[in-house]
């Protein structure tokens, strides 16, 4: 007897009064069932046609899912029968039954839980917010990876742009997160790579370029020469300049630095973002900054005070959370420093990195800049530095205008 597969409504209702949909696989009058993760009210189910009625608000999506599940089950059944003459309903069900946690949001939860364990404080709330936007758009948490199609993602992009009024870069970040979770599901053999909606001819992710503005040498000098009796403003300036003097080292790394990182008039440290190690000579201006903190209480051998409240520096989640709070506070006082220096550019700690790039311009070879920035790829360095090299374009403009 041939194997038959159809979608049916199960007999037992859920708490909300809806009835689960399941694939029923029949062979030799024996049945096996696979729930497909969706349920409907009985009045919304056409038992003869084995499909959801139009009275259900998501009838089109659910019927597409049913058709897809039926096709996948039929293909699997035929593959098994081609290999073995006698295939039971139970064997077919076992072969096509999805693994636990097959839904997108189940895998997403595991993904964010792992980030929390890894101490990635800054990413977790941001990614949770992006997942919430996706869930609100779908109006369900119960979506299979096979349902995340090119058409659905295009509608999601339009929703984020038109309804949420998000920037192009923020929209791209949403898509990157969905792609990352989808890739993890494929590696875990939860999602079918044949249904992958990203890549050539599908959803292609291109990160839009953003303008990067750094301070000029004259503006840095203004900040250096400011008389700042306010201790908090002076500290914010110190952290900013410390970063700039070391080729724009990230503020998260600055706040982690210890006195033991300075040996033989050199700074030795590994960048937190990619764990790249290296060393730099200590500029004389940095020595002046360090002298301001030598008399402070020694906690965890840290130079700057922000992380001295952390009892266990191996607790990465707490460390990143404290850094996040600290950076917001430092940026608040940096804004006051910029106002006092009469600088109308946006002043944040990250601008110190742009400032080094702007002042270095094309004076330093890309290979040396890659080493200073601790970039993993030279391509990244060239792309980054192109934001600050204007001479060729300016000369071309002058040649046309005759200036």
What digits encode the pLDDT tens for the residues 348-357? 888 888 887 7
Highest mean pLDDT out of 99-103, 197-201, 276-280:
197-201
Average the pLDDT over each of 33-42, 97-106, 257-266 and give the range with the smallest value. 97-106
Domain 217-360 -> CATH class: mainly alpha
Q: Please report, for the chain, the start and end positions of each structural domain, with discontinuous segments joined by +.
A: 4-96, 104-195, 217-360
Is pLDDT at 385 greater than 90 in this prediction? no
Reported as a single tens digit per residue, the pLDDT across 305-345 is: 999 999 888 888 888 889 999 999 999 999 999 999 999 98
| pLDDT score of 100 | 45
When the pLDDT of each residue in the chain is averaged and rounded to a whole number, the result is: 83
Q: Alpha-carbon distance 349 to 238, whole Å?
A: 11
pTM of the model: 0.57
Residue 348 DSSP SS3 = coil
Look at residues 194, 87, 200 and name the one whose alpha carbon lies nearest to residue 145. Answer: 194
Reported as a single tens digit per residue, the pLDDT across 136-179 is: 999 888 888 888 999 999 999 999 999 999 999 999 999 999 99
Look at residues 95, 140, 96, 18 and name the one whose alpha carbon lies nearest to residue 9. Answer: 18
What integer is the mean pLDDT of 18-39?
83
* CB neighbour class for 22 (10 Å; exposed up to 12, middle 13-18, buried from 19): buried
Give the pLDDT band (50/70/90) at residue 36.
Answer: confident
Q: Alpha-carbon distance 337 to 237, whole Å?
A: 7
What integer is the mean pLDDT of 249-263?
90
Reported as a single tens digit per residue, the pLDDT across 93-108 is: 665 555 444 689 999 9
């Amino acid at each position: 007897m041939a194997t038959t597969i159809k979608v049916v409504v199960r007999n037992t209702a859920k708490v909300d009064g809806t009835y689960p949909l399941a694939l029923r696989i029949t062979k030799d009058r024996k049945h096996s069932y696979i729930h497909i993760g969706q349920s409907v009210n009985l009045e919304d189910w056409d038992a003869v046609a084995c499909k959801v009625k139009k009275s259900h608000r998501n009838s089109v999506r659910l019927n597409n899912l049913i058709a897809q599940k039926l096709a996948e089950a039929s293909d699997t059944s035929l593959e098994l029968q081609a290999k073995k003459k006698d295939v039971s309903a139970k064997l077919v069900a076992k072969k096509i039954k999805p693994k636990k946690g097959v839904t997108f949001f189940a895998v997403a939860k595991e993904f964010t839980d792992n980030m929390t364990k890894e101490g990635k404080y800054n990413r977790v709330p941001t990614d949770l917010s992006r997942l919430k936007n996706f869930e609100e758009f779908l109006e369900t948490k119960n979506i299979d990876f096979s349902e995340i199609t090119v058409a659905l993602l295009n509608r999601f992009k339009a929703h984020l742009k038109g309804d949420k009024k998000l920037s192009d870069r923020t929209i791209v970040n949403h898509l990157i997160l969905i792609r990352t979770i989808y890739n993890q599901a494929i590696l875990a053999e939860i999602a079918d790579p044949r249904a992958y909606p990203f890549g050539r001819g599908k959803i292609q992710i291109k990160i839009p370029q953003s303008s990067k503005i750094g301070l000029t040498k004259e503006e840095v000098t203004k900040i250096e020469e400011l008389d700042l009796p306010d201790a908090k403003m002076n500290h914010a300036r110190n952290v900013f300049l410390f970063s700039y003097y070391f080729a724009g080292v990230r503020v998260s790394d600055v706040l982690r630095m210890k006195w033991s990182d300075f040996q033989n008039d050199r700074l030795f440290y590994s960048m937190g973002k990619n764990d790249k190690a290296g060393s730099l000579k200590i500029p004389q201006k940095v020595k002046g900054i360090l002298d301001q903190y030598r008399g402070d209480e020694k906690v965890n051998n840290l130079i700057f005070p922000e992380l001295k409240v952390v009892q266990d520096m191996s607790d990465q989640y707490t460390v990143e959370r404290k850094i996040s709070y600290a950076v917001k506070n430092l940026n608040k006082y940096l804004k006051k420093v910029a106002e006092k220096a009469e600088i109308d550019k946006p002043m944040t700690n990250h601008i110190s990195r742009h400032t080094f790039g702007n002042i270095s311009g094309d004076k330093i070879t890309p290979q040396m800049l890659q080493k200073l920035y601790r970039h993993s790829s030279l391509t990244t360095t060239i792309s980054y530095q192109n934001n600050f090299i204007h001479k060729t374009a300016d000369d071309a403009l002058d040649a046309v205008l005759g200036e």
